[in-house]
Structure 1
Amino acid sequence: MQDETVQRMGFIESLASRLAQRMNDERKGDHIDYLKMKLGIETILTNLSKGIIVYGVAIVLGLFLQTLILHIAYAALRRYSYGLHANSSTVCSIISIVLFVGTPVLSQYIPFTSLMVIGCGLLFITLLYLYAPADTDKSPILGAERRRSLRNKSIVTCAVITVIALLYPDPFIKSLLMLGMALQIVMILPLTYKLLKRSVKNYEQYETESRSA
């Protein structure tokens, strides 16, 4: 019965299921342990596969380093500010290619001056203060203290990257760092949520229910 279920899964989910089942059998864990391991393994495999696709395209186009720099700035800020996710892995891969490979091409025509870096940095910090961290309906960020901590860390991260961009002499690198953060800022804006018909401040529903109970 289990083998039939595995066959109906996608390749990544099937592989994650088999690995999790093997690991869970070895440690004699229960079903909850299996589900946790499966989710973790599946997340790692999914991100790895998307990374291979995105950076494979970047290498073919000779944009590996540019994509890496932009992606680092994006990921560093996203770690604390969270934000929107695509509805499927395929859509996520397509969007990632467009954003992380297409933006470095665009950045060649948008050289950032030091004044632009300062202006964008201040704007980003303001938007992070107002809207970070941004959760989703599937992953609400519960706890006012946790949200406050994530917001502060996202602001500090933005400030550090802005200073690095300000001190770096190459306008192209400045552009990559600031545009990388700009992509993540777009992911937390209420306007973006509204355009994509996604709900904002999803934690409110759970915390309201908790207080009522």
Structure 2
Amino acid sequence: MDKIAGYLTKHIKNNVPGLTDLQLIKIKFGFECLFSEASKIIIYLVIFSFFSYTLEFITVLIFFTVTRSFAGGYHEETYWRCFTTTLAIFTACLYIGISFEMARSVKIALLLVSIILAYIYAPVDHPNKPIISADRRRRLKNFSVIIIIILGLISFILPDRYSNLAIMSILAEALSLIPGYLKKSDKNLLCREAK
């Protein structure tokens, strides 16, 4: 993926004059993220479709990724660690969402936990793309809370099976904020100590 991203970036550099080195780095990083995420989603889709959980997987994927796009979360250092961690999270969401009946009061409680976690920890940015602006950070925090509320309301109009999956996906994403935040805090502390 790195080689493909590098090839495409080089092609853009040769055909679009005036791009700065920083812009080219951003373009290459964007390609790497796109290829990484697309390849993982395709593999997950094949795996869950093999077990006849295609719609269930798509439900988990949508509710998880929409929340994550605003709130951020924990990031692994390598592609395969990210792949296995995400596969484990999606599998857990599917298993719990399908295996257990959830009363409306339980779903509301899980959503409240998710909202509180988002309010405390979001956004947890990617180490390669830090959020520097305090204003942007505040907006993303607010959007994260709003998105969880909206997705939570949507989950209540879905059939029970998919409603459970949606709630579990939102909760899993909110829980991923904690280790992501702690990992980032540890790195910042190490950097300050090194100085």
TM over 0.5, yes or no?
Answer: yes
Deviation, 1:123, is: 1.9
Which residue does 2:170 correspond to in 1? 181
Greater share of residues in helix: 2
| RMSD over equivalenced CA pairs, Å | 2.6
Which residues in structure 2 correspond to 1:37-186 (within 5 Å)? Answer: 37-168=27-158, 170-186=159-175
Query: Structure 1 118/49 Cα, relative in aligned 2: closer, same or farther at 3 Å?
Result: same
Which residue does 1:15 correspond to in 2? 4
Q: Contact (CA 8 Å) 1:69, 1:177: kept in 2 or not? A: yes
Q: Give the number of equivalent residue pairs.
A: 191
Q: Contact (CA 8 Å) 1:82, 1:135: kept in 2 or not? A: yes
Q: Contact (CA 8 Å) 1:140, 1:202: kept in 2 or not? A: no
**Cα deviations by residue, 1:96-146 (Å, 9 ceiling, x for unpaired):** 222223431332112222111111122211221111112354433222211
Deviation, 1:29, is: 4.1
Matched residues in 1 for 2:138 and 2:172: separation? 22
How many percent identity over aligned positions? 20
Matched residues in 2 for 1:167 and 1:203: separation? 42
Determine which structure has more spread, i.e. the larger CA radius of gyration: 1
Normalised by the size of structure 1, how large is the TM-score?
0.80
Query: Structure 1 173/186 Cα, relative in aligned 2: closer, same or farther at 3 Å?
Result: same
Normalised by the size of structure 2, how large is the TM-score?
0.86
Matched residues in 2 for 1:193 and 1:47: separation? 18
Which residue does 2:184 correspond to in 1? 199
SS of equivalent to 2:119: helix
Matched residues in 1 for 2:163 and 2:172: separation? 14
Deviation, 1:176, is: 0.5
Q: Which has the larger displacement, 23-32 or 68-77?
A: 23-32
Give the unaligned 5+ runs of structure 2: none
